[in-house]
Amino acid sequence: MNTKNTDVVAEYLHEIDVRLAGLPVLQRRELLADLTAHIASEKAERNIQTEGELIEVLERLGSPEVVAAAAHEEFGPVAAAPVKRTIRWYWPAAAIAGVLLVLFVCFGLTFSRTSSDGPAQQEIAPVPTEVVPSPVRS
Amino acid sequence: MAELATSLRRGTLEFCVLAMVEHEDRYGTEIVRRFGEEPNLAASEGTIYPLLSRLRRSGWLDTKWAESPSGPPRRYYALTSDGRSALEHFRSEWVSFRQTVDRLVGTGEAA
């Protein structure tokens, strides 16, 4: 029974350790030592005998996912990494959007110039022909 | 709803931890069990240990291992003078913060 209990605890701690990858080694070791001490004092102070009781202790501690997530939140540059990634994703998108905007504006200006210059020249063009002869006539 | 509780807990839980060791040193399991009994703070017990570790690293808590009369060695946590002033600062901030929220949300006694 004792070996069985140790197996459950060892497996539980291993599952947490696996999920602490990327955290500084001392924080990892400290957390595992704290959890080990916690389980040991629960066993001693609550006089835990069966594996079922031991599993209850582990359930109160929380699933390996939950405990590891808390560790990442407290210690992790890993927790900050996704934020940086999203920021890094925004920059190229913003740059592309900016380039596209500039291109659209340039196209818009050239088109509006050619389209407004075209008729303007055509409209103006007859005017000088009328205006130029008129001073000649006068 | 769980998300709201998590957001509210963030930023306040650590001061509840500091207050718990204000008058006497306590060992990890003792602190963790005490939180387990509070339904509003009910985080999984294992999530308290990373918090304790951070508070120690930021110099607000001191720890020492000591033999226990019955069972394995215990890691005791004590409030440092920095931790004490952080707790005092939180207390005054919290009171005015709570009053403002109560006034705006309508949860104050006058409301």
Element (DSSP H or E) covering residue A64: helix A64-75
- Measure in Å the smallest separation between the Cα of B21 and chain A Cα atoms: 17
Helices (H), B1-111: 2-9, 13-20, 28-36, 48-57, 81-105
A65/A14 same-domain check: yes
If asked whether residues A55 and A8 sit together in one domain, one would say yes
Q: A89 or A61: which carries more pLDDT confidence?
A: A61
pLDDT (average), residues A46-69: 95
Total of domains in chain A = 2
Considering the domain architecture, whether residues A101 and A119 belong to the same structural domain is answered as yes
The helix (run of H) or strand (run of E) holding residue A108 is: helix A81-124
Are the Cβ atoms of A60 and B44 closer than 8 angstroms? Answer: yes
Domain shared by A27 and A45, yes or no: yes
Highest mean pLDDT pick, A118-122, A123-127, B43-47? B43-47
Q: What is the pLDDT of residue A76?
A: 75
Q: What is the pLDDT of residue A111?
A: 63
Among chain B residues, CA nearest to A46:
B71
A27 vs A75: CA distance, rounded Å: 8
- CATH code linked to domain B2-103: 1.10.10.10
Average pLDDT along chain B:
92
User: Does residue A50 share a domain with residue A28?
Assistant: yes
Tokens of B107: 């949860």
pLDDT score recorded for residue A48: 92
Task: Say if residue A52 is in the same domain as residue A105.
Answer: no
Residues of A in contact with B44 (CB under 8 A): 60-63, 66-67, 70
Contacts of A43 in chain B (CB under 8 A): 71
Q: Which of B45, B53, B74 is the closest to A31 by Cβ?
A: B53
Say which residue, A10 or A123, is predicted with more confidence.
A10
Q: What is the pLDDT of residue B79?
A: 98
* pLDDT tens-digit series, residues B23-48: 999 999 999 999 888 877 867 899 99
The single-letter code of the amino acid at A73 is E
Of chain B, the percentage scoring pLDDT greater than 90 comes to 74
Range of the domain at A40: 2-77
Instruction: Tell me, yes or no, whether A9 and A73 share the same domain.
Output: yes
Question: How is chain B split into domains, by residue range?
Answer: 2-103
Predicted TM-score (pTM) of this structure: 0.71
Query: At residue A36, does pLDDT exceed 80?
Result: yes
CB of B89 closer than 8 Å to CB of B31: no
Q: In what order do the strands lie in the sheet with B26-27?
A: B26-27, B74-79, B61-66
Query: Across all residues in chain A, what is the average pLDDT?
Result: 76
**Measured between CB atoms, does B90 come within 8 Å of chain A?**
no
The answer to whether B63 contacts chain A (CB < 8 Å) is no
| Longest Cα–Cα distance in chain B | 52
CB atoms within 10 A of CB B35: 19
- H or E segment to which residue B25 belongs: none
Residues A73, A87, single domain; the answer is: no
Residue A102 and residue A52: Cα distance in Å, rounded? 67
